[in-house]
Amino acid sequence: MTTPSALPWRFDTRACAIALGLFVLLVLLATVGARAGWLRGFVGDVLAVAWLYFVFKTVLAARPISLALAAFGVGCALELGQYLARLGHWQIAHPVLRIVIGSTPDWLDVLAYAIGAAAAVAIDRRINA
């Protein structure tokens, strides 16, 4: 006897295409826009949570609010990790990981994560309307 999965797996091609597009934007922002300062960081955080939302949506059949909360939660977990690393005086040695994960905790990042999650839900609803 098998028990049903709490979240059914699936493959959503539209969500995958959006996730790929957002990934390209994130790479461009991290490379071409590397000297854009706080704009790169804030917009990058907004896009990162939106990207994660659509990555989740690609493979998980869940309500939009659940996907948004999961993506926001991952962002907040990374921010907590940055804060704890700062307290422990730890540093990520690999420069690419330092860019991807971040190294400076900031409450504005949490705001950017919330904006990204809300924007992802709004985009998703508009596309599926």
In whole angstroms, give the CA distance from residue 21 to residue 30: 14
108 to 7, 41, 64, 119: CA distances (angstroms): 32, 10, 24, 16
DSSP string, 50-86: HHHHHHHHHHB---HHHHHHHHHHHHHHHHHHHHHHH
For the stretch 14-65, pLDDT in tens is: 999 999 999 999 999 988 887 888 788 899 999 999 999 999 999 999 999 9
For the stretch 49-108, pLDDT in tens is: 999 999 999 999 999 999 999 999 999 999 998 888 888 878 877 777 766 677 688 899
Q: How far apart are the first and last CA of the chain?
A: 38
